[in-house]
Every structure is written in structure tokens, then in C-alpha cells.
Structure 1
């Protein structure tokens, strides 16, 4: 949109905040000193109105009723951030744990996510230049829609604006926790080339990134184009490249224990072990690089295992990525400008899950089998080694996520004649295509192989169990790579999301005069279509009768659907008098899903009060929501088995809920099915914040803000226990206080002729509630040292004061900040998080030290015991001390065109190894991987060169 011509004199507060915005935290030496020297407390300089995230109306105040954290391109480079995901995952707002490349075999191991205040990543709205990003087609934690922020070219980012708090009244669905707006560069003065190479001192993870950008313009200045390409390649980090992850925990409160690679369990004797290897593991001693040996577990028995199997998985993904970006404008006349933006990404992510997820056992097909010679029910379990695989071992069977995405916007903007009305009309189209190329063991082939080579022919049935007389010597034997290849291969799951939007905005920043200035109005009308399709390889889908798939040990669920959506947004800014400004915004969203309309109005009221020019008091109250995602609605049907109390049948025998001990149906097995639910309602939230900004001088600002959320009707899988309880109330004619209505409860519990449960259906439902309160603090200070240069300090701090979850109606709230078990169960919360940077600029040199601090978290013993007082083998449940890492960067402007940089991240080589003592010796990852990683120190050399300027 054209910049407003309205100019206002800025106060000391706005001057200081403008300096913070321009510097963000760290600028180059000349810019920092010049800004500090020229912006004195008494200086009054004209400032053009600009549009900031959190408002649709251009304004001269860079701080308003809701805080915005700005991370500039200079910040990203100086602090050592390697990607946009790195910026957001180290933000002080990121107090919750995350799944990703560091968590082997997670649902979305190939993606990178971030959230805010411990809320799920899907509760944050992600924008590229103010336009929503394409959703990732696969589901976070197997159930939730989110954004993969891996494909944004970090070298082409101008700044990242982080807006905490509910923002649905401006940005619609998903903006409950806040909004992240990634602003890409719009100008490039000639050709620039950036080259960065990196390595880790512990090994692995070598990387190279090359970025080229160019700017073009016509002779008359009417046409301008900025374009760039970024290529990045990165090696994975393997578990064996770190002492903490190369083997099972050596520092645990129990003895180190080997993996159970060749194991026979005895179902007739409380699942103790049977050891039947006549060679006592000698035949397999060469497996896992010669580490396979006779092992045992106390009270269970012997088996063949290795201490080193954790090292055969990746703990950081490998990646090859290419992103391209272009921004073009053409001035038709003084009042009309055409524009276009294109961001495209092509990214392959590689990872290996290791031998823990590459094995075979009889339990998957038979449960147990009966051995007539041992007169016992037995199970066989056999892991595959790198020698079985052949070649490069697990490096030859890595999984690959192939990501292809693009976002294209075409539009026009301008002004209606000589009026104060600006307009902007554009269409945006996004696509995200994902192919998950997964290593697989094919069920029929692998079972046939072990029947042929180990189990032998079935000899009948004993008490319902198949009878086999296995060749145990063959079981305890290596296999050839050709044998391994005979039952393994790859399957491809293809998925896609799409979003096409037509948007029109009309803005008047000088609608009418008020005592405090000009009123402003913005109106936005938009409509579009969204789609989601998830199509697994047919061999991954469950058979409706056997509930087994054609891939051994794996299943998947398909789903597909689309919806039309439209919205109307309005924002009115009213400077009622000089100290006081009130901003009102409202939005109406509607989604048409299969002829059914889901709609939700939201609103907010923001207040800015400046009793003196150096103090801003601000506050906001509003509503926010999240519409049911397409996966929530269209996720396909899948089956499972479970067991619960059958409250209705127990009631027929005189038992009541809460007192079913002795009931024959207290632990009834059932067949269940689950799926998405087209009847879901939007998640709703009331959100408010209040705070103060203090800026007594142009080089200093301090802000303190409090945020509060009341989130209702969260979507969760319906609990089988809650459904059976609801059905009991309905069948017995009592008041139903459970979560499902009687019509649904009676339909979702299917019973046979003797009242036995034949099927439970547990779809996604609106059941959960969260309460959250958080305090944030931000401090910025620039000190001019005259001939010694300048110092720039910035710090951010978040403290989650309250966070409770009520999983189901009638449940007691769970305290996610003080209940150690819940803190882990709900993504490993840290109560506090902080970051700080100090930059010293002198001449052509800039040196920056950056610290990131994770507050105390419960240790593993506290989690497993659900107690702060538990102790065993000399180790105590409790909290880990705060965890701080340091980055250090050196930038030298060798010429006006050449900058050379050395960046050292985690300069002290901090590792979470101290956590290992409260984990047992059976653990392969003796630290909380949702919050910490064992990557260690990394070093990067970078060159930035601007040609011919």
C-alpha cells in the first residue's frame, strides 16, 4: 500500500521506539553510533506513518496497545541464528517443548515447528508479508494442523515481527496464541552474494548456504524487481557422533542395559525371558560393529543385545533445499501500482529412526505362539543391524520428506484520486505438496521369511494359539543383505494443502479529526477456498477386518476435503485526545463445509494512554478462535483395541461409577474406531493483555506486559471411558454430566444381544479447556561510547504464571507448571524463558554476545513418579536448574562492499548431559529432547559481498 503522506511530530517515546525498531538490537557500527548521536531526548523529527503487525491502519507510533517484537535481518545474522525456525524456537515466547528432527520417529520428524507460551504450534498464525502461509499436509503429533517454517529463506528475510496474544479480530482463525509475520526483502541494490559454511566441533552437521539477490529497475523508475535464490545443504548428525547419544545411558540411576536385539519372551511365566541360543550370541557377535553380546536384565533373563544401538539413528535431519523469491512493482500512474510476489521452496529432508524402529516379532501377527517342546507361550523379537542391511547400513535406508511449496500473490494498490482513501486488491494462492518416502518392512514378505527360516510350518493350534517348533539356531543368526532386501522397500505417502484467497482492503488513515489526531479506518473483505488431501500408500491402510496393513508395524489414515471461506474485517482507530487512543476491531469469519456453515464473530478493544511522553500504558481485550481444521473434520476412520470399565453392564449387577471393584466388566476389551468429526465447533478464547512502556530517553525503553487466555471447546479425541460413562447416564435415565450428548452416546456405543460391547466410536470432540497467564518483559538500551564505539543491549523474558488444562468436563484442572507428570505429558513446559544480547560496535567491527536461557524444568524422576519428593538409588526427583547457551559473533566490514563474519554458536559447548543421572540405564535419549539438544558447539564462516556499489 502507498505510504501515507500524513506526518506527525513524534514524541520522546516514539523517537526511542523508532530507534529500537531501526536498530532492533544490533546494527552495524556506523548506523548504531549515528542513531544514538542524532536522536537526543529533545529532538523532534518527522516520521512517516507505517503499517505494523497488529494494525491495518498506518500510524506513526511504533508501539501501540499490543506489543510487537521485531527481529531484524541484522539480529538474525549477529545472533548466529541459522534459520527462521531457529529464530522462533529460541524466542522467549517458546516455553513449550517441540517435536521435530531431534525426536526420532515423531509424526512430523522432517518438519520444523514453533509455538508460543506452551500452546500447540497450530495456535499461532504464521504470515509471509501479511499473507497466511500454507499449512503442512502431515499432522503434528498425528492429529493437529500446523505450519512447517523450514522452507523460508532466512537470508532473504528483512525482519520477523512477533505479535503475542489473541489476534483473531484482525487475522481470523488460528491466531489464539499470537501472530508471526515474516517480512521478506523488497529492495536489493544490485547483485549481492552471501556464502556461509558451518561445522560442529563434535562432528556431523556440516552445512553450506549460498544466497544471491539482485535488484532491477527501469530507467523511468516505474518498474522495480527484487529477486533472490538461497541454496542450502546440510549433513545429518548421527547418534554415534555424540557421547550422550551413541549408547544407552551410562550415567543413569540404574546400570546401563543393552538393547534386546534377539529376545524370546515367555508369556506363560510373566513375560520373563527364554534364552535358547546354543552359541550364546557368538554367531551374532559381529552385529552392530561387533558390539552384540550376551546380555541380561535383572529378574527377567538373558538375551543377545548391544549397548551401541542408539547411535544408529539421526538426532538432526540432513537437508537439501532451494528457495526462490521475487517481488515486483509497476507504477501505472501516480495513484495505481501493480505488484506481485512469489516464494517457492524445494526441500528434501533425510533422517533415520534406527534399529529401535527396524525390527520384527511374532507378536504383531500371532500374539503368542505355543512351543510344544518348551510347553510355553512364546514371542520372538529380532532387531536388524547395519550388517543385515549391508552397504552403508542405516544410511542406506533413510527416510526422505520431499517438500514442494509456493505462495504467489498478484494485485494492485493505490489511492482514490486526491482523497485519503487507499485501496489494495490482490489474490494469493498457496500450495504445499509433501511426499513422505518411508522405509518399510512388508508384512506378508517379512512374516513369510521368518516362517520359512525360523518358525517352520504351523503344527496346529493350542488353546487358540498357533503351534510352532522354531529353529532357534537360525533365529540367533545374521542374515544376508539380499535376504533383508527381499522383505523391505519404500512406500510413498502423498499429501497436499491449498489455499486460494481474494482480498480487498480499503484504508483511510485521516478519516476525520479528533482532539488527539486523525481517526483511521480500515475495512477488509476476503474470500477463498481451502483444501487438504492425505493419501497414504495403499499398503499402509488398515484392513477393515484384521486392522492390519500391508506394511509391518505401520499403519496410516487417509483423509481429504475442502471448504469455502469468507471474512469481513474492520478496524477503527480513535485518538480521542492527545494522551488517549482507542482502537476497535471486529471480524466475521464463515466456513462452508459440505453445505454446513461454521461461523464465528470476534472483536477486540485496545487502549493506549500516555500520561507523559515517556510512558505508555496499554491494554487490550478481545476474543479469538480456531476453526475446526480440515483434518479435524475429514480425517478418515481407523480402528484400535482397548479396555475400559463397562459402566452400564456393571450397573445391571448393582455397581455404580466410582465403585466397580469386583464387577466382572470392570476391564472389558472392545474394538474401537476413531475419525474426524464434521460436527465440531470452533475453539473459542477470551484474551486480554495490559502493560506499560517506559522510554525516558531515545536510547532506552522498557516494556512489561501481562497476557491472559481462557480457551474453551478445544478439540480432542473423545475418551472411551467418558463415552461409556455418558452412555451409562443416558441408559439409566440419570442426568448426563459427561461430555457426549445422549443421542451421540447411544449411537457411538454399539452393543450385542447380551448387552456386550461390539464397537465404540470415539471421534474428535470439543471437550478441553485451558487457562493461561503470562508475563513478558523487554528491555532495549543503546550507549554511545564516543571514540570507543557503542554498546547495544536487548533482553526479553517470559514467565508463565499460570497454565492449567481441564482435559474433560468434570475433571479437575491439571497444573502444567507445577504437576511434574503433566508438564512432560503436555509437551514439556519450561515456566520461564529469556534471551539477551550485547553488541559492541567500533569502526568496522561489530561483536555480539547472545544468551538464551531455558528456565527450570522437572527432571525425569519427577515425571515418572509424578512427585517432587521421590528418590531412588541416590537420585532425587526435582527440577533441573536453568539452562543457558551462549553465541558469539564477529563481523568485520573489510570494505564498503565486503563483510566477513565468524559465528560460534553454543560457544561453551553446553550439553544436557547432567540430566542423565535421573534417567535409567535403559534410556537412549537421557535428556528432554523437546527442549534441549546435544548438538554442541557449531562454527560458521560467512562472506557477504555486494557487487559494483
Structure 2
């Protein structure tokens, strides 16, 4: 029986490496298959590789395809057949990627030029990304302005051999970050002939045209082997004007469509009907603006507010998909120095230029930012002015796009081989990764733009009225378009530079038959690694000193060193039962202090019969606080907090705290936040169990259940909790001399005391990042594969993958109740379920694939706003279905022609009529996109193959 299993494993490996003849016969979906790595070319090593296979999820080569660690694989051929045009797209479509993430569709986000994924709705930073088994460097900019993450945008899809996805905690092998799972992107190590691949794509509704060329070749000269690939891709943007749902304000929502407030005078003293009618200020005022926004600007009315000048079409002037220019170079080289030593090197270089526009909603001027409300003696009222800029004024939004340029590379040099005549293999390597980011963002210069409107509209200050400045504006000038030359006089670009770097030296030894136990040979792996890493985010100085109107930034920089040791032991206790254990110790040096953590994992594989595998794992995982978590610079904000001590002094505490005078119940303070070098590791207890059943040849069905209990998650400290703690310390409920009290008191600064019974008002509260949150999650996954050989009719490959989030709770702060994220839509809009399936039919020179992806229901806008499903209008959206289809024709051995249609039925996001008419994008951009149907034609030519 064991021999049959080994033969099956070897056959699976050979099938993976020779799938070209079947034209992606298994390209219908994710498969539970092993990853393979290239090895020594000497005969002893070749013989050894027939017995074992290196798999992602174990340091020890395995003799079984399936192990205690579920591994789901998608090959490069599968990505092509399923219609995926990028690595990010393929990963985000996987059934495990149920979480909402920001990306190109998230206007004005901190990282609009980057793409990532979320496994099971956990933080994107909880996924460990590897390239050829080595850690991928972090993106220099911060996800949502706070967290470090990996950018998947520039990974060259044409150079990918396959991608392994390992859901569940994997830190005992891969270290920090591997809480939600591990993604290993394995690049091609050899091509069998020089290849040229060209692809052109376009969208049926316009925009997004895609041009890509890929060149690759392998060379051999004696003991030297090298494989080199080049990929270049250029993608045009998709604008909001290209899609019906985003070219104007929503017309089918809970309120009529409301035009943008491009020219607005607003009273600060009125609650209702606060807009000052333009015709009251200048007869026919909006008539001067009608040429803006393509001739759609005009006199508008907003219910309960009043009249102004605006356009219904202003939402369309932003990008939904970035303009991209990406170039990649990949080289893999080996040199067989001796029978026991192979030297190798890998280089992956990426250039990624992204351009995008955030639109008129983020391109405006108003008095509220720098002048505040002012007194108009002619209106005898306090008012504010607001002014949006139309494309005719800016010279076209395509001329003021933001641009980011990322230059990154990953270089590995190493040697591997066999120690003498023993069974011990070794691998020693050094990896350096480097990522530089240049952000050139459109900006309004504070002094210039304020000065422009002060000179032309506000005029000189005429004194003060009850502390407010007095201006008598020239409203005729206010309701006039701004010439493009004037606009360019008070705008420009900031330049922000940032970088990350990582150095790792690693040594590993493995032995697949270190000693014998009851079921056969035990395998051992030992590894040591050490290195350092750094992060530096240096914004344009004008973003730091107020020189940019309406925009700020936060700087930060830091570095740390680390080392780790890993041990793995795989023992066949019986022929049917294998136990795999791993242990890892990580130690980080942070600002002179050492932070360490140990993780472990125990896995069992039981095969009661040849066709059935029962498996399970139990262990721990961790994530070291990121460098931005530790070293992000100081920034400020304003908020309100309850002053619990002064409320108690006034006689209001506990149940009657709500009656406390507003002076203390809503005490305004200036907050300061920053990173924290004293943070502890985020820790997790993780386990999974499941089965793999192969009832007949070429059929496999697996089901796995996952559990995560994550503690010490990093979040900003809660000012309200600090105020409560101060009260408890000052009232004697907690020893005021305790370390926790002294810390809390030091973070709250008060004004001087003015009355004996009350402390001075709260002035400043320092709220750094702290370890406070907890998260629990249970998930179920299932996959199915069947290759049905049809004789003269070819072969049919059927694949399916399913994920269901059974439980997801989060506790923001110790003592807070756990929030059920599946039933509290304000806190999460993730998909609860995702399922995809495919069918690939291959016959002779033809292969065709139909791929379907079902995204489960999500809360509608009103539910996520009100945090319930019971109020009128709340509910869940219908599931979203997308279908892709492809056909490949191998015209000759040297030429393959392909045609792909993505989103076959041009399906838009499910209708969400709970959005109001003020929305210009009535769908959740972190879950859905409105790109629609796209088409791709592709030709692959291999030189030297003429049959």
C-alpha cells in the first residue's frame, strides 16, 4: 500500500510539471497539490527526489501528496484558463479571500496604488507572503494609514509556475505574520524553449485596455543553468464616466439624486434651510457656471437645505481602475560546483507606476478649513463658502492625476547539496529585499489658494464680530469659473519618499530518514536564520507644516534585528499514522530591548484505508508588531471624552453618568497618537481538522475546519478607557502609586485648576498603539477535483472550492463585550461564504474552461450604517455571480492562441437601493467593482518547436 502511495505522489508531481500537453487540463480551479522545487542535477539527488516531494507547509520533503497541512494550489496555466490577468486578481477570487480590502476602487485611500487580500476576513497583514519560499518585503506605504502589508500588484503573472495557499496558522515554520495563512508564489525555474507571449485586452463598457508582452528563455552551458524572463504590461484607467453606476449621483436610492455642492454659501447659524440662495446674492449666479462638468452645472435644490450651484455628473471624474505601467525582470541561475554542492541565485525586479485621480470630491476649497465661519455684514449672518473644481478648471482630471512609482527587488544567493555520503541535505542562503516608493500627489498650496480667494472673493478683513472675522465677499467673483492658468498657480505636487528593506541569512539541514520508528523512517529539519529590517516613511515637508491645504501626513522610521531557530520532526508512528511536530523560537531586538516568542504545532495524518486521509493540527501562531506599529511618528487629532473624575466630583457616576453636565460629559481634548516600541507580539491559538477522500482514481474531496483565537491585537489606545482609569486611580479604587495608574496619569494632561472641588479641564490625551484587541474565528472549507478521461473525446476536469465563516467575533478592548461580526454589519461587511467552480474540457488541440465564482450576501448600506437588520430598509444584498470563459487552440506545437472573456454576462454589483441620492458610487468598493465584461486575446509562441 505504501508503495502505491509513493507512486501516486510521484505521478502527481510529473503531471504538474508536464501539464502543457493537456492545455491546462486541471485548470478549472484550486487543487490540493504539493509544491515542487528544483534540486541538484547529480544522479544520487535525482534518485532521492523520486521518493520524496518538497511541499509548502513542511521543511521536510514528503512521500505523500496530502499531509496534515491543507495546501491549495493554483498553477500559472490555471490562472490563464480561468481568466485571471494578475496574481492579485487570482488570489482575491479564491474562496478563502472572504474579507473586504481596499484597492484601486477605494478612492483617496492611503494605498490606492496597491492590491492585497484578506483570508477569512482577518487583517491583510496576518498573511505571510513568500516568493519561492522566502519572505516577501513589505510595501512602504501603510494600509488604511496604519498597518504594514504586502503589495501584490507587481508580481509578474506570466512568470508564475504555481501559487500555494495554506490557510491557518503556520508560524512554527514560517515565523511572524503567518496567523491567517501562508501564500507561497513559486516562479518558473525552467522553460523548455524560448517563448514570446503577447496579450491584449479591453472592456466592453470602455476603459481599462491592457497590453502585455512576456519573453523568457533558459540556457545551459556545462554545469551552469539560467532562466530569464521579462514582462511588460500597460493598462489604461477606467473612469467613473465609463460606467452607468458611477457617472452620476445615484438615481434609485432612498432619496432623489442630489447634485454636488460646487458653489455653496452656507449659514452656520441655521439648522434647516441653511443654504443661501445664489440668486439672492447675484441674480442668475449659476448662469456663469453652466459650462462646467460638461455643461451639466446649474441651479440646484437640496431638500431641507436650500439652493446652490452644482452638477449631477461630478462623481464620474475619478478613476475606478488605475493607469498602470509595470515591468518585471526575473532570473534563476544554478551552477553545479560539485556532486554535493549547487550554487544558485534568484533575482526578481519590479517596476510599477500607477496613476489615479480621486475626483472633484477631493479637489475643492472652502473657508471652514483655515478661516472658519465668518460674519457677512450684508447677510447679517455667519457663513462659510465652499467651492469644488470642475474638469474644465483643472485642465482635465487626467492632467492632475496622482502618481506612485515603486521600485522593488528581491535577491537571493545560496548553496545547497548533500553532506558527504549521508542522508543530510543542506541549504544556506542570503536574501535581500528592497522596496522604494515615490508618491507624487496632487496638492493645493495653503497660502496660495487661501490668498487667491481672499484677494478675489473675500476681500480684506473688516474687523471682528463676537470673535468671528468680518468679510464682505464679492459673490459675483465667487460664482465664476477659475481659469486653468490660475488653478495651476495655487496647485502642484508633493513628493513623498518611503522604503522598506529586509536582510535574511538562513541555513537549513534536512534528513528524510534520520531514524526509524514503528511506521518507517522519521524525517528531521533544523533551521537557523537571522537578519534585520527597516522602514522609513518621509513625507514632503509641506505635508507636515501645513503648507498643503486640507491634507497632512505622518512620518516614521525604524529598524530592528532578529534571529530565529526552527525544528521539525515527522514520524510515521504506524504505517497508517504520521505525526508532524514543529517548534520555532523568534527573538527581535527593538530599540535595545529584546522581544521573543515561541510557537509550536502538532499535526496528525491517519490513513485507515488507502483512499481516506484524516488530518488535524493544533498549535500557536504570532505576529510581531510591524515597524510602523512601533515607530510611526506623532500625529494629532481632536475629539471628545467623558471626564469621569470631574463628573464624579459633581455627583454623577455609574448609572447616572448620563446626567453629568455637558462641560464634563463631552469634554473636548487634543489627542496625540504614535507608534509604541513597547508593544508585545500578537498571539494566536490555532487548530484545524478535516479529511481528504479519494473514492476513485483522479477524484478527491476534502473538508477542513479552522479555528483561530487571536489575542493582543494592536489598536490605538481608547481615550475613554484612560479617563475611566484616571478616575479609579484618583478616587482610590486602584492604588494611585501603581504602575498602571502612574502611566494613565502621565498620559492625561489637564489645564490649571480653577476651583477647589474640580480638576482643571482635560487638555491633552496621549493614545499610542497598544495591545488590546481579541478576535475569534471559525471557518469551514471544502474542495473537490475530478479528472474524467473521455477516451477519444478528450478529458474533463471538474473543480470546486468553498469557504464559510461560521463565527467571527472581535473584542476591541479588554472588558468590552465580544462583537459578533456576522450580525453587526457596522463592524464588518465581509462575505460570509464564497464558492467557485470550473469545468475544463480538453480534446486534441483544443481546451476550453468555464469558471464561476459566487460571492455570498453582504449587508446593504443602510444595515452597515445603522448596525442592524431590523430597521426599515436594512437587509442583505443578493449573492454576486461572476462567470469567466476561455478557449485555447494549439495551432502547432510552437503556437497557442487563446481567447478569454471575464465577467461573461457583464454582471454589475447587486443593486443596493438603500444608498441615498448623495452617493456617486452606490456599492461597497471594498467588496465589489463595476468593471464589467472584458475580453483578452493571447498568443504564445515557442521558438524551436515547429511540429
TM-score band, normalised by the shorter chain? over 0.9
Does residue 474 in structure 1 map to residue 487 in structure 2?
no
Partner of 2:491: 488
Does residue 11 in structure 1 map to residue 11 in structure 2?
no
Question: Are 2:97 and 2:120, in contact at CA under 8 Å, matched by a contact in 1?
Answer: yes
For the residue of structure 1 that corresponds to 2:213, the secondary structure is strand
CA distance in 1, matches of 2:436, 2:543: 19
Partner of 1:168: 171
Cα distance change on mapping 1:21 and 1:191 into 2, 3 Å: closer
CA distance in 1, matches of 2:18, 2:74: 8
Partner of 1:743: 742
Instruction: Write out aligned runs for 1:826-837 (5 A).
Output: 828-837=829-838
| 1:743 to partner: Cα distance | 2.4
Cα distance change on mapping 1:385 and 1:903 into 2, 3 Å: same
| 1:538 to partner: Cα distance | 0.2
| 1:734 to partner: Cα distance | 1.4
For the residue of structure 2 that corresponds to 1:270, the secondary structure is coil
Instruction: Write out aligned runs for 1:417-816 (5 A).
Output: 417-542=420-545, 549-664=546-661, 665-735=664-734, 741-754=740-753, 755-816=760-821
Question: Are 1:28 and 1:846, in contact at CA under 8 Å, matched by a contact in 2?
Answer: no
| 1:455 to partner: Cα distance | 0.4
CA distance in 1, matches of 2:449, 2:762: 34
Cα distance change on mapping 1:534 and 1:643 into 2, 3 Å: same
Name which of 214, 217, 223 aligns with 2:217.
214
| 1:26 to partner: Cα distance | 8.2
CA distance in 1, matches of 2:780, 2:166: 14
| 1:658 to partner: Cα distance | 4.7
Partner of 2:882: 885
CA distance in 2, matches of 1:150, 1:121: 14
For the residue of structure 2 that corresponds to 1:888, the secondary structure is strand
Question: Are 1:8 and 1:46, in contact at CA under 8 Å, matched by a contact in 2?
Answer: no
For the residue of structure 1 that corresponds to 2:488, the secondary structure is helix
Question: Are 2:169 and 2:180, in contact at CA under 8 Å, matched by a contact in 1?
Answer: yes
Q: Across the two proteins, how many residue pairs are aligned to each other?
A: 911
Instruction: Write out aligned runs for 1:138-177 (5 A).
Output: 138-177=141-180
| 1:870 to partner: Cα distance | 2.1
For the residue of structure 2 that corresponds to 1:787, the secondary structure is helix
Question: Are 1:18 and 1:62, in contact at CA under 8 Å, matched by a contact in 2?
Answer: no
| 1:773 to partner: Cα distance | 0.2
| 1:728 to partner: Cα distance | 1.4
Instruction: Write out aligned runs for 1:373-388 (5 A).
Output: 373-388=378-393
Question: Are 1:420 and 1:508, in contact at CA under 8 Å, matched by a contact in 2?
Answer: yes
For the residue of structure 1 that corresponds to 2:152, the secondary structure is coil
CA distance in 2, matches of 1:92, 1:125: 18
| 1:8 to partner: Cα distance | 6.7
Partner of 1:365: 370
| 1:27 to partner: Cα distance | 6.4
Cα distance change on mapping 1:31 and 1:795 into 2, 3 Å: closer
The CA deviation string for residues 207-236 of structure 1, in whole angstroms up to 9 with x for no partner, is: 100000010001x3x110000000000000
Cα distance change on mapping 1:842 and 1:768 into 2, 3 Å: same
| 1:115 to partner: Cα distance | 1.8
Name which of 817, 823, 826 aligns with 1:821.
826
The CA deviation string for residues 176-217 of structure 1, in whole angstroms up to 9 with x for no partner, is: 000000000001223100000000000000010000001000
Partner of 2:22: 29
Bigger mean CA offset, 862-871 vs 241-250: 862-871
Cα distance change on mapping 1:641 and 1:561 into 2, 3 Å: same
CA distance in 1, matches of 2:22, 2:138: 40
| 1:657 to partner: Cα distance | 4.1
CA distance in 2, matches of 1:657, 1:364: 38
Does residue 404 in structure 1 map to residue 407 in structure 2?
yes
CA distance in 1, matches of 2:494, 2:415: 45
CA distance in 2, matches of 1:672, 1:22: 60
| 1:20 to partner: Cα distance | 9.1
Does residue 241 in structure 1 map to residue 249 in structure 2?
no
CA distance in 1, matches of 2:648, 2:60: 63
Instruction: Write out aligned runs for 1:15-414 (5 A).
Output: 15=8, 19=12, 22=15, 28-29=21-22, 32=25, 47-218=50-221, 220=222, 222-270=223-271, 272-275=274-277, 276-390=281-395, 393-414=396-417
Question: Are 1:29 and 1:845, in contact at CA under 8 Å, matched by a contact in 2?
Answer: no
Does residue 854 in structure 1 map to residue 855 in structure 2?
yes
Does residue 941 in structure 1 map to residue 941 in structure 2?
no
CA distance in 1, matches of 2:739, 2:251: 48
Bigger mean CA offset, 775-784 vs 858-867: 858-867
Cα distance change on mapping 1:31 and 1:322 into 2, 3 Å: closer
Question: Are 2:82 and 2:850, in contact at CA under 8 Å, matched by a contact in 1?
Answer: yes
Question: Are 1:846 and 1:891, in contact at CA under 8 Å, matched by a contact in 2?
Answer: yes
Cα distance change on mapping 1:27 and 1:908 into 2, 3 Å: farther
Partner of 1:3: none
CA distance in 2, matches of 1:209, 1:712: 44
Question: Are 1:10 and 1:60, in contact at CA under 8 Å, matched by a contact in 2?
Answer: no
| 1:16 to partner: Cα distance | 7.7
Question: Are 1:617 and 1:692, in contact at CA under 8 Å, matched by a contact in 2?
Answer: yes
CA distance in 2, matches of 1:748, 1:854: 45
For the residue of structure 2 that corresponds to 1:880, the secondary structure is coil
The CA deviation string for residues 426-471 of structure 1, in whole angstroms up to 9 with x for no partner, is: 1000000001110000111110111001000011122221111111
| 1:30 to partner: Cα distance | 7.2
Partner of 2:43: none
| 1:387 to partner: Cα distance | 1.1
Partner of 2:894: 897
CA distance in 2, matches of 1:440, 1:532: 25
Question: Are 2:588 and 2:594, in contact at CA under 8 Å, matched by a contact in 1?
Answer: yes
Question: Are 1:190 and 1:216, in contact at CA under 8 Å, matched by a contact in 2?
Answer: no
Cα distance change on mapping 1:721 and 1:199 into 2, 3 Å: same
Question: Are 1:16 and 1:700, in contact at CA under 8 Å, matched by a contact in 2?
Answer: no
Q: What is the TM-score of this pair, normalised by structure 1?
A: 0.94
Question: Are 1:212 and 1:228, in contact at CA under 8 Å, matched by a contact in 2?
Answer: yes
| 1:515 to partner: Cα distance | 2.5
Partner of 2:846: 845
CA distance in 1, matches of 2:580, 2:115: 35
CA distance in 1, matches of 2:282, 2:335: 78
Question: Are 1:25 and 1:794, in contact at CA under 8 Å, matched by a contact in 2?
Answer: no
Question: Are 2:436 and 2:500, in contact at CA under 8 Å, matched by a contact in 1?
Answer: yes
Question: Are 1:9 and 1:47, in contact at CA under 8 Å, matched by a contact in 2?
Answer: no
Cα distance change on mapping 1:900 and 1:30 into 2, 3 Å: closer
CA distance in 2, matches of 1:280, 1:313: 27
| 1:851 to partner: Cα distance | 0.7
The CA deviation string for residues 461-514 of structure 1, in whole angstroms up to 9 with x for no partner, is: 222211111111111110111110111000011000000111000111110122
CA distance in 2, matches of 1:785, 1:105: 52
CA distance in 1, matches of 2:11, 2:597: 36
CA distance in 2, matches of 1:886, 1:911: 12
CA distance in 2, matches of 1:657, 1:111: 47
Q: What is the TM-score of this pair, normalised by structure 2?
A: 0.94
Question: Are 2:569 and 2:580, in contact at CA under 8 Å, matched by a contact in 1?
Answer: yes
CA distance in 2, matches of 1:572, 1:948: 46
